[in-house]
Amino acid sequence: MDLKELSSVVQTGSQKKSKELVKKALDEKIEPVKILNDGLIEAMSEIGVKFKNNEIYVPEMLMAAKAMAAGMKVLEPILTKTGIKPVGKAVIGTVKGDLHDIGKNLVAMMMKGTGIEVTDLGVDADPAKFLKKAEEIGADIVCMSALLTTTMPAMNDTIKEFEKAGVKDKYIFMVGGAPLSDEYAKEIGADYYTPDAGSAAEVAKNAVLKKGK
């Protein structure tokens, strides 16, 4: 089968067809890593570009991300068996005091679509939680989201928590959310600010690859 078909199905948001085509590709003895790269990751790269160009919007992006996740459920056990390692690991969460999660969920899904292993801390995650989980899983990136101006300072508190523990330099810090800016990211010592999920996934992947050199 042509993996472009899988990519197209994921982009249209069909979870059922995504699962079926991943199974079909595996039955046809296509390499699992090829299915991942040329089918699922390729689809999410296309979706990221379309989103950036305003050709699609959040609902279509969410549907595609869910279709990608459905295909990954079938593929993941095989990838684990064959010892395929993720590109990198990320911890993501909405900071303390903030209960908004749509943006965070989108970023998490898009990051998974680039081959990054994502651990989601959910909402209202305090600084100690970010630090504990990042250390526990050996994360490369710490991603923080906030939608309220009142919860933005919690991002600074979280970075300070890593500083106090003497481990800040081990991690790449990424921040995002409607009230944020590049200036604010620099001010609190974060490495990157991204305005949308597509950019976040791209920046995260490039940052991890750069870090690994």
CB contact set of 94 (below 8 Å; sequence gap of 6+): 100, 101, 104, 122, 123, 124, 125, 144, 145, 146, 147
CATH superfamily of 3-81: Methionine synthase domain (1.10.1240.10)
According to the model, what pLDDT value does residue 165 have?
A: 97
Q: Give 213's pLDDT tier (boundaries 50, 70, 90).
A: low
pLDDT of 102? 84
State the pLDDT at residue 91.
98
94 forms beta bridges with 145
- DSSP letters along 13-29, please? T-HHHHHHHHHHHHHTT
Work out the burial of residue 27: count CB atoms within 10 Å of its CB; fewer than 13 is exposed, 13-18 middle, 19 or more buried. Answer: exposed
Give residue 187's pLDDT.
97
Q: Can you say whether residue 153 is alpha, beta or left, with left for phi > 0 and alpha for psi between -120 and 50 degrees? A: alpha
| CB distance 141 to 205 below 8 Å | no
Find out if CATH 3.40.50.280 is the number for domain 88-211: yes
* Measured distance CA(109)–CA(101) in Å, rounded: 12
Residue 161, pLDDT score: 98
Over the stretch 55-99, which tens digit does the pLDDT of each residue have? 998 899 889 989 999 999 999 888 877 777 888 999 999 999 999
Domain locations along the chain: 3-81, 88-211
pLDDT tens digits along 44-65: 989 988 988 899 988 998 899 8
Contact assessment for residue 107 and residue 201, using Cβ atoms and an 8 Å cutoff: yes
Q: What does the pLDDT read at residue 93? A: 98
- Compute the mean pLDDT over every residue in the chain, rounded to the nearest whole number: 93
Q: What is the pLDDT of residue 109?
A: 83
Pick from 137, 123, 184: which is nearest to 159 by CA?
Answer: 184
Task: Look at residue 90 in the predicted model and tell me its pLDDT.
Answer: 97
Interatomic CA distance for residues 59 and 64, integer angstroms? 9
Confidence of residue 177 (pLDDT cuts 50, 70, 90): very high
Whole-angstrom distance, CA of residue 177 vs CA of residue 100: 10
Q: According to the per-residue pLDDT averaged within each range, which of 38-47, 109-118, 123-132 is highest? A: 123-132
What is the reported pLDDT for 84?
A: 75
Residues 131 and 158: their CA atoms lie apart, in Å, by: 8
Write down the pLDDT at residue 106.
85
Q: Considering only residues 20 and 115, tell me which one the structure prediction assigns the higher pLDDT.
A: 20
